[in-house]
Amino acid sequence: MVFLVLLSIYLNHWMFAGILLLVVILGMLEFYSLTSSERIQPQKIFGLFAGVLWFSTSTVVAYTGGPYDLIYLAMLIIPLIFLPFVFEIFSGKPNPIENIAVTLFGLFYIAFPLSLLVFLFQPGSTLFLGMPVWLLSFFLLVWIYDTSAYLFGVRFGKTKFFERVSPKKTWEGTISGVIVASLAAAGLYFLVGTIPWFDWLALLLIVVIFGTFGDLAESLFKRSLSIKDSGSILPGHGGILDRFDSVLLSAPFVFLYFLIRSGI
């Protein structure tokens, strides 16, 4: 997965969008499969259609429209939010409130944050080794933080970080992840040389804070559903949501900071 994402970032922005679209589809299918039960029956077909439509429209706006012509996306999201209310009237299923809530939650939890990442691949973006710095650095720091926190946590972890939600997460692993990610951010600062240090600090803080919350949030969801992994599509690694939980929660904040720094 790391190889495919990096390859797409290096080769072509449309290829990158295609990889993320695949993640959106698989992630939403996984999410709706996990949350479906006799009591809750989300509108899977509509949710998947809306997610694909939202992501595809975001990609077209980002790559062919104005630099940040987000008004079109704002106009699109309004009917997407309220259509499940209409469909639920005719579905005849029990528990309509839960069905609508889970349907919309899948859209906002998976498709929305991933669709924001295509805007970090704007033409004219600052490049490093031929790749957009913000996008490349975001993924690198997320992966480095997650991996180092896991490895050091397994080897040295003793003090529980948030046992009620994630019993295996430790302070030793988390602090080690922060240190290694900080060193990586410092290295990128010197390698790139064209982006101020406070931008790297902001990106690092977003990844560490919201990436951690993303991991904890997904652990909370899994505990509420009494499951260990969100899926088995990635052998030895669980499901799509297991691998992208940190990205999902931190992506909106990286996008917001990118907008602020771009003067939009």
Percentage of the chain beyond pLDDT 70 is: 89
3-state DSSP assignment of residue 161: strand
| Model confidence pLDDT, tens digit, residues 116-134 | 999 888 655 666 666 788 8
3-state DSSP assignment of residue 47: helix
Q: What's the N-to-C CA distance of the chain in angstroms?
A: 32
Higher pLDDT among residues 78 and 72, named by residue: 78
Mean of the per-residue pLDDT values for the chain? Answer: 87
Beta bridge partners of 132: 127
Domain boundaries, the chain: 8-123, 124-264
Q: How many residues does the chain have?
A: 264
pTM reported for the whole predicted model: 0.88
| Model confidence pLDDT, tens digit, residues 136-171 | 899 999 999 999 999 999 988 888 888 888 888 889
Tokens encoding 229? 């992994």
Categorize the per-residue pLDDT at 254 as very low, low, confident or very high, splitting at 50, 70 and 90: very high
Least confident of 46-55, 109-118, 224-233: 224-233
Phi/psi at 122 (5° precision)? -70, 145
Tokens encoding 187? 């290295």
Per-residue model confidence (pLDDT) at position 237: 52
